[in-house]
Structure 1
Amino acid sequence: MKCYNPTLSGTMPIGINVTGSDLDIIMEIYDLNCFEKELCSLYQNERDFLIKRTKIRGKNVVKANFLYGGFEFEVFGQDEAVDKQYAYIHMKTEHELLQRYPQLTEQVKSLKDLGIKTEPAFCQLLNIEGDPYEALIYYGKKQGLIL
């Protein structure tokens, strides 16, 4: 799996994880069939293993979820460099927002404890309208947080 440029993304690397947060591993994959077989070979015997192929924003992806070592994992692969994937861009934007507005850390975690997903929580707190997954990236670019 090393050749896929695995990168931990999401809430844990930026310190806004709450009880039940999963470990999001994103990867750069150009042979989805091979990747899917490898995931099945490595993790199909783990608790709650589920794998699916789908399209997200027009790109084919493979996503696997399972429990391992007391953590919930989501392993996500698509044919795009990790630093160009939405999960990475969201994390980078959120990290920059937390640096700029440290008070957001506990506010976001409180909303997450209520079951609100990360991107919608940031959008709610910053009064960003629209699809939170698109709007947060647009906001980050507009604020000069990301290129």
Structure 2
Amino acid sequence: MTQANQQVIAASDLPALGQPLLGGVFAARYWLNGQERALILPSDEFEGVWGEYGVEIAGASSYSDGYANTVAMAEAGCEIAKKALELDAHIPSCLEGQLLMAAKAEGVVAMREERFHWLSTQSSAYHAYGMDFEDGWLTNYVKDLERLVRPVRSRIIQ
């Protein structure tokens, strides 16, 4: 893991949900791998393919850990993963995508609704998950399709 993903923020320094935090909007608090974390949504977005059709990427199938998925994707040569990591961010996992949908539904964050977004969770050698932020649909798509990517940041809360 990089230093950025292990950075700590004091609970007393957290703003209200929907307020600016570390170059984005504070979207949610959640638990991951025994640690409470802050999910932050920067304004960055870009398009790209998830990966190569028929190629399974070891380490990119976590339903909850988008950072670990994104690192595995980048190590396998995935351009959208490399770009997300360069932004000090990662592609959200299925769990993190659902947290973003909940934050959107509560008016905490804004997400584009006219396009499906890639998530970092791989479902097979042929498919990875994507989310529609209009209705919250979570489904899987052929990896070599171009989709929108909206990276997130996650920081440990202490």
TM-score of the alignment, normalized to the shorter chain, above 0.5: no
Which structure's relative contact order is higher, taking Cα pairs within 8 Å and 6+ residues apart?
A: 2
Q: Which has the larger radius of gyration?
A: 1
More strand by share: 2
More helix by share: 1
